Structure 1
Amino acid sequence: MLKKMGQFVREEEGQGMAEYGLILAGVAVVAIVGIKLLGIKIDEVIDTVTGKL
């Protein structure tokens, strides 16, 4: 039992998965902010084109 617990503590696979999760969360936040900002700009362009038509 102690041997298994020692292996569990030394394994870094869980740490790697946590890092991938944090990276994924960061990318998601950046994507959401980018979409929000681009959405506003796209709305402005569409409104301008519609107004000129």
Structure 2
Amino acid sequence: MTISHAFLARLAAGARREDGQALVEYALILGLISVVAIALLSAIGTDVSQILSQISTALASAV
């Protein structure tokens, strides 16, 4: 059984109990944080790429 299958099995088993409600809530929060982090890194990544491109162009013209 892979880690993801084990996690999903544990998540499903936890959802059947009242205590499992917290586990589901934590999983949803983790998913939301992951989506936001990926979106931010994607936006920042293009800015960093443009800055590095400008630096590369400036260095090439200086040589």
TM range (shorter): 0.7 to 0.9
The runs of 4+ residues in structure 1 deviating greater than 6 Å are none
Any unmatched runs of 5+ in structure 1?
1-10
Aligned length, in residue pairs: 43
Q: Which residue of structure 2 lines up, in the alignment, with residue 30 of structure 1?
A: 36
Q: CA offset at residue 14 of structure 1?
A: 0.8
Find the structure with the greater CA-based Rg: 1
The answer to whether residue 55 in structure 2 is matched with residue 52 in structure 1 is no
In the alignment, structure 1 residue 43 sits paired with structure 2 residue 49:
yes
- Displacement of 1:42: 0.5
Percentage of identical aligned residues: 33
Q: Which has the higher contact order (CA 8 A, sep 6+)?
A: 2
* TM-score when normalising by structure 1: 0.75
Q: Which of 20, 24, 32 is the matching residue for 1:14?
A: 20
Please, what is the CA RMSD of the aligned residues? 1.0
Q: Deviations over 1:1-53 (max 9, x none)?
A: xxxxxxxxxx5311100000000000000110011001100000000100111
